[in-house]
Chain A
Amino acid sequence: MSQLSTRHLLGIKDITKEDIQLIFETADNFKEVLNRPIKKVPSLRDITIANIFFENSTRTRLSFELAEKRLSADVINFSSSNSSVKKGETLIDTVNNILSMKVDMVVMRHSSPGAPYFLSRNISANIVNAGDGTHEHPTQALLDAFSIREKLGDVAGKKVAIIGDILHSRVALSNIFCLQKLGAEVMVCGPITLIPKYISSLGVKVEYDVQKALEWCDVANVLRIQLERQQIKYFPSLREYSLYFGVNKKMLDRLDKEIVIMHPGPINRGVELNSDVADSEHSIILQQVENGVAVRMAVLYLLAGAR
């Protein structure tokens, strides 16, 4: 198979295992491109991509922009903070105005879950979801799984613990779908208030003790506490959270095996992850960022080639 089963990447839930494998195989080739003296290929030179970010982003936006530029696409950037959205323009109007400038693909981040689905039903451009509220963040899950595959050889059969604020995390949901499709076992771990009530119906294990989760897993993906999405207090204090759910070097030293530590960034050092772990040889956090560009290049390339 050489093309995806879909025209848009809205969520991992909608794509197949074969799609994920094709993205990984293509990303392998792009990773090689990124290590060349000239890190650019002309594949998307006749394509214009709009990066539409209604929510703050540093890593994802830069990573997408770099991926687009490495593929020779023309890029326009839009962020809601300095746009007409502030003047009351609707999502569909904003996007239609951008599309009338002959844009072929839209990379969108929005605070409302489902916003990219709504868009895909109303416009003809290919859509890539760069995070929709607490719903999905498909490219993050892809680059996480790609990084596990790179580090451990395969994702199938591996045990991955996702630790932290599961309730507000789009990364957690996309990761669960992606890892399960690739044959990994998934556990979520965090304070009882930050774990969705029916999450075990997705076939994941639930654990409230971080040390036990670390003992169980081959890979720990530690998530950020999303204070900006928390309207009420889910735990008494950051200090208490860090004490009970933060991952530190002592906890890793107690294990009788080596595990891989991941984090989608940005890290709240000293809260969910201590610096002695984030900067240790267990951590592949910077490799995740590097792989992000290759994986996003693969996604954009394959979607642009889809008929």
Chain B
Amino acid sequence: MQKRLVLDQQQIDIILKRFCHQLIENHDTFDNTVLLGLQPRGPIVLDKIAKTLEKISGQKVKTGYLDATFHRDDFRRRDLPLKANETKIDFLIEGKEVVLIDDVLYKGRSVRAALDAMIAFGRPQKVELMVLVDRKYTRDYPIMPDYCGVKVNTLESQYVSVEWTEKGFDKDAIWITEKA
């Protein structure tokens, strides 16, 4: 199978640090800000960012995991239904500034579902989107990231695979792979 490296461990670390500094610049003390990782792969990025943020600024940020499976628009339309994941948000987001965090932005449908799912926890003051990889020219919905690690050109026949040491890989890495 053909594979092309998009980001290696060092590049991912640099991007995560950049994200943290951008967040500090925009959200200052994080008094009114919460970070939500989109299941299933956003929470890993979120946890890394929360850890780095604490290291850089000494601040503990409110974080949660959001699963949008029950809000997807392709239920009963895809061959195999998606399995739901845990939603873990033990606070309300009413009046908060929310940063949604995911690994890859593709069609924008997951983010649309996440925006829908998020509203069950209150009406946020502002919502931003942070992604490690933005697959350019593939969007079905008018959704753009506010914080983006890297933009890549991909074909429909390819997918972006994200490998984390937390998932048992030797190193963190992001690849573009041909679909089997």
Asked if A3 is at the interface of the complex by the 8 Å CB criterion, the answer is yes
Report whether B81 and A29 are in contact in the complex, using a CB–CB cutoff of 8 Å. Answer: no
Give B34 Cβ to nearest chain A Cβ, in Å.
15
Report whether A33 and B81 are in contact in the complex, using a CB–CB cutoff of 8 Å. Answer: no
Report whether A305 and B120 are in contact in the complex, using a CB–CB cutoff of 8 Å. Answer: no
The chain A residue with its CB closest to the CB of B70 is A41
Q: How far is the CA of A262 from the CA of B24 in the complex (A)?
A: 52
DSSP class of A's interface residues: helix, strand, loop or mixed? loop
Asked if A42 is at the interface of the complex by the 8 Å CB criterion, the answer is yes
Task: Tell whether A36 pairs with B70 under 8 Å between CB atoms, given A2-B82, A29-B86.
Answer: no
Asked if A32 is at the interface of the complex by the 8 Å CB criterion, the answer is yes
Q: How far is the CA of A26 from the CA of B84 in the complex (A)?
A: 7
Mark contacts of A292-307 with chain B using CB atoms, 8 A cut-off: 1 yes-contact digit, 0 otherwise.
0000000001101111
Q: How many residues of A contact B (CB 8 A)?
A: 24
**Contacting residues, chain A, for B121 (C-beta < 8 A):** 36-38
Report whether A302 and B81 are in contact in the complex, using a CB–CB cutoff of 8 Å. Answer: yes
Q: List 12 A-B contacts (CB under 8 A).
A: A2-B83, A3-B81, A29-B70, A29-B86, A32-B87, A33-B70, A37-B122, A41-B120, A43-B71, A71-B70, A304-B75, A305-B76
The chain A residue with its CB closest to the CB of B88 is A32
**Contacting residues, chain A, for B88 (C-beta < 8 A):** 32
Closest 10 pairs between A and B when the two form their complex, measured CB to CB: A305-B81, A41-B70, A38-B120, A2-B83, A29-B84, A43-B70, A36-B120, A2-B81, A32-B87, A3-B81
Per the 8 Å Cβ criterion, residues 38-64 of A in contact with B are: 38-43, 46
The chain A residue with its CB closest to the CB of B94 is A37
Asked if B116 is at the interface of the complex by the 8 Å CB criterion, the answer is yes
Q: How far is the CA of A32 from the CA of B88 in the complex (A)?
A: 8
Given contact pairs A32-B86, A38-B120, A40-B120, enumerate 4 new A-B contacts (beta carbons under 8 Å): A2-B83, A3-B81, A33-B120, A38-B121
DSSP class of B's interface residues: helix, strand, loop or mixed? loop
**Contacting residues, chain A, for B120 (C-beta < 8 A):** 33, 36-41
Give B47 Cβ to nearest chain A Cβ, in Å.
19
Asked if B92 is at the interface of the complex by the 8 Å CB criterion, the answer is yes
Q: How far is the CA of A304 from the CA of B77 in the complex (A)?
A: 11
Report whether A304 and B76 are in contact in the complex, using a CB–CB cutoff of 8 Å. Answer: yes
Q: How far is the CA of A71 from the CA of B67 in the complex (A)?
A: 15
Report whether B116 and A29 are in contact in the complex, using a CB–CB cutoff of 8 Å. Answer: no
Report whether A42 and B83 are in contact in the complex, using a CB–CB cutoff of 8 Å. Answer: no
Task: Tell whether A42 pairs with B116 under 8 Å between CB atoms, given A37-B92, A307-B79.
Answer: yes
Q: How far is the CA of A239 from the CA of B120 in the complex (A)?
A: 51
Mark contacts of B115-143 with chain A using CB atoms, 8 A cut-off: 1 yes-contact digit, 0 otherwise.
01101111000000000000000000000
Report whether B70 and A305 are in contact in the complex, using a CB–CB cutoff of 8 Å. Answer: no
Q: How far is the CA of A307 from the CA of B79 in the complex (A)?
A: 7
Of the candidates A2, A38, A39, A41, the one whose C-beta lies within 8 Å of that of B80 is A2
Per the 8 Å Cβ criterion, residues 56-75 of B in contact with A are: 67, 69-71, 75
Asked if B29 is at the interface of the complex by the 8 Å CB criterion, the answer is no
Task: Tell whether A29 pairs with B75 under 8 Å between CB atoms, given A37-B92, A305-B81.
Answer: no
Of the candidates B80, B85, B122, the one whose C-beta lies within 8 Å of that of A3 is B80
Mark contacts of A63-87 with chain B using CB atoms, 8 A cut-off: 1 yes-contact digit, 0 otherwise.
0000000010000000000000000
Per the 8 Å Cβ criterion, residues 127-179 of B in contact with A are: none
Give B112 Cβ to nearest chain A Cβ, in Å.
12
Report whether B119 and A305 are in contact in the complex, using a CB–CB cutoff of 8 Å. Answer: no
Of the candidates B70, B86, B87, B122, the one whose C-beta lies within 8 Å of that of A42 is B70
Q: How far is the CA of A64 from the CA of B86 in the complex (A)?
A: 23
**Contacting residues, chain B, for A39 (C-beta < 8 A):** 120
Q: How far is the CA of A39 from the CA of B119 in the complex (A)?
A: 11
The chain B residue with its CB closest to the CB of A1 is B83
